[in-house]
């Protein structure tokens, strides 16, 4: 098995919570919807996020993010969780107006999903199954202190094991690779001046503010 391990990647999974799929009126996917972001999209907790100038309708999406700790390819679902070394929460920021246009024209989503600062990312916590239950992990998103999303990983359409197995069929997963695993229902718009906070009792709380 060969492959470079010196450059981590951000893998993202779309449409992985049934209620979110329904709120966007999307068809139910038969396999994971995968897209990628460059590492430059990350935003550490507490930093300001500039409202992107190339779109108008910016949406928040809270997600559980897992980090790969060892190299693997064609990973079996039964072994998949052993490849995770850390877990955190992130926010998938989406320009919904551009995404809608791209879907209608059958075009890629990069302009809508992979722009600068589109992947706010919390601090990773080492993955210990005794402390972090990935099969029953509650997590929330608050905008200006108001609860907007309340999710649980038990509602995922495709499990962590399935996602890792599917990704490893296409790419050699390497230490440092990250997977944004999808968002529950309740997504909505962000405005300049808003604050976004993602939180889980098992992981922690992380916050960002939107500026012009």
Q: What mean pLDDT do residues 2-30 have? A: 80
Encode pLDDT of 172-210 as tens digits: 999 999 999 999 999 999 999 999 999 999 999 999 999
pLDDT value of residue 18? 86
Distance CA(15)–CA(40), nearest Å, equals 23
Within the chain, residue ranges assigned H as helices are: 18-23, 96-105, 110-113, 160-170
Q: Tell me the C-alpha distance between 28 and 22, whole Å.
A: 8
pLDDT reported for residue 163: 98
Q: What mean pLDDT is predicted for residues 91-119?
A: 94
Average pLDDT of span 108-118: 94
**160 three-class SS:** helix
Residue 195 CB neighbours (<10 A): 13
pLDDT of residue 155: 94
Domains in the chain and their CATH numbers?
A: 10-211 (3.90.850.10)
Taking the alpha carbons of 47, 59, 161, 132 in that order, is the dihedral positive or negative? positive
Rounded to two decimals, the pTM is: 0.93
Percent over 90 (pLDDT), the chain:
87
């Amino acid at each position: 098995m060969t492959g470079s391990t010196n450059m981590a990647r951000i893998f993202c999974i779309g449409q992985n919570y049934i209620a979110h799929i329904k709120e966007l009126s999307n068809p139910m996917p038969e396999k994971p919807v995968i897209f990628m972001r460059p590492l430059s999209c990350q935003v550490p907790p507490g930093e300001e996020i500039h409202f992107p100038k190339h779109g108008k309708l910016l949406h928040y999406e809270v997600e559980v993010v897992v980090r790969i700790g060892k190299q693997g390819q064609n990973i079996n679902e039964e072994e998949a969780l052993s490849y995770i070394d850390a877990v955190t929460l992130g926010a998938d920021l989406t320009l919904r107006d551009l995404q809608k246009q791209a879907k209608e024209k059958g075009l890629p989503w990069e302009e809508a999903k992979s722009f600068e600062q589109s992947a706010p990312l919390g601090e990773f916590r080492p993955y210990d199954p005794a402390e972090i239950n990935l099969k029953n992990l509650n997590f929330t998103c608050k905008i200006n202190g108001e609860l907007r999303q309340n999710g649980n990983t038990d509602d995922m359409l495709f499990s962590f094991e399935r996602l890792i197995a599917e990704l490893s069929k296409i790419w050699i997963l390497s230490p440092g690779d990250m997977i944004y695993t999808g968002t529950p229902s309740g997504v909505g718009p962000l405005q300049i001046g808003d604050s976004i906070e993602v939180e889980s009792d098992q992981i922690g709380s992380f916050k960002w503010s939107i500026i012009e």
